[in-house]
Amino acid sequence: MKITVLAGGISPERDVSLCSASLISNALLSKGHEVAFVDVYEGTEETDLKKCFLKPDSGKSFSYSIPETEPDLDALIASHGGRKELIGPGVLDLCKMADAVFIGCHGGMGENGRLQAVLDCYDIPYTGSGYLGCAMAMDKHLSKTLLLQFNIPTADWVIFDPEKHSIDMIKKDIGFPCVVKPIGCGSSCGVSIVHDESEWGPAITYSTKYEKTCLIEKMIHGREFSIGVLDGKALPIIEIRPKQGFYDYKNKYQANATEEICPAPLTDEQTAEAQSLAVAVHNTLGLGNYSRVDFILSEEDGKFYCLEANNLPGMTPNSLIPQEARAAGIGYEDLCEKLVLSASRKV
């Protein structure tokens, strides 16, 4: 197959995407496919797009390391003459030339449904969820509202606009400690835990760096778990134990910052319950051939609370879904190929 792998873009999760997509590309090359790797924002200046597709025997590979800090998107845009167009030159043509597109983007247009909608307009097959499922999963307020409608536990929350609301509303409706996060970002970009009023201002500043409106969530103390859903079935559960602080951007992507245990040490009853909830979340949001759902097991009442669903989770070999797939007997290269072979049009 000829496969175009899309990466990067103008998103706080740009570096995570470039790392995932590089390794996805290498995996697909190792399985005998021709691969074109392209940054969805930067595009390509190559005039003969056929040359963008690497042959499996080319001897070339891709690599990218995730820095400790989030990318400077303003500098990226400035380096391209201030261009605000989200899709760069040659990208759509490379997608049209491929048998399928592997969306290796995270956040922004790659995960909120806009990229999927564009590909649908051109009848281009792609991996992951369709535009509607992406839009619902990426909007934390909308997804949590839908989960409650189907009796899936999630932490209490309010929407906070710094220009309209005051901290008094948070004290009354949520209290401290609480979690401050942008409504539509992933990879813990813009997320802070606020223990008291002294930490409130910096947390709001950090969150509104990405989006004007924040989601303020009641903090639930307990153990954190993540569960992949592949072709409608839950994978083995992974437990996440950061060595310091919480599972923020640095702890997610820097080596040895977090202990990840798979299969998670849970009872059979807890495992069945959490896996059932993960599939329920996946189906409620109308997600595609794979997703990842994150939970907290409350130490107060023993219930699993859904934190969020990820419609395009990280895909490095050490990311959570590949670890879970490995525990189920599916190697990384096989997983990447499985996802792209099942790529189809989404509605």
Give the other-Cβ count within 10 Å of 146's Cβ: 18
Nearest to 253 by CA among 308, 311, 312, 313: 313
| Residue 297 covered by a domain | yes
Same domain flag for 107 and 184: no
pLDDT for position 184 = 73
Check residue 257 and give its pLDDT: 62
CA 193/CA 199 separation, integer angstroms: 8
Backbone angles phi, psi at 152, to 5 degrees: -100, 115
Q: Are residues 204 and 248 in the same domain?
A: no
Q: What is the pLDDT of residue 48?
A: 94
Cis peptide before 263 (omega within 30 of 0): yes
- Shared domain check, 166 and 59: no
Predicted confidence at residue 82, as pLDDT, reads 95
Give CA 208 to chain center in angstroms.
19
Q: For each of the chain's 347 residues, which pLDDT tens digit applies?
A: 999 999 999 988 888 899 999 999 999 999 999 999 999 999 999 999 999 999 998 888 888 878 877 889 999 999 999 998 999 999 999 999 999 999 999 888 989 999 999 999 999 999 999 999 999 999 999 999 999 999 999 999 999 888 888 888 888 889 999 999 988 766 567 888 999 999 998 999 998 888 888 999 999 999 999 999 999 999 999 999 876 655 444 444 445 667 899 999 999 999 999 999 999 999 999 999 999 999 999 999 999 999 999 999 988 878 899 999 999 999 999 999 999 998 854 43
State residue 121's pLDDT score: 95
DSSP secondary-structure letter at 312?
Answer: S
**Residue 346 resides in a domain:** no
Q: Which of 194, 218, 242 is at the close of a domain?
A: 218
Instruction: State the residue range of the domain holding 197.
Output: 157-218
Burial of 223 (0-12, 13-18, 19+ CB in 10 A): middle
For residue 86, CA distances in Å to 74, 90, 241, 307, 309 come to: 13, 12, 36, 29, 24
Residue-level pLDDT at 188: 67
Tally of domains in the chain:
3
CB count in 10 Å sphere of residue 347: 8
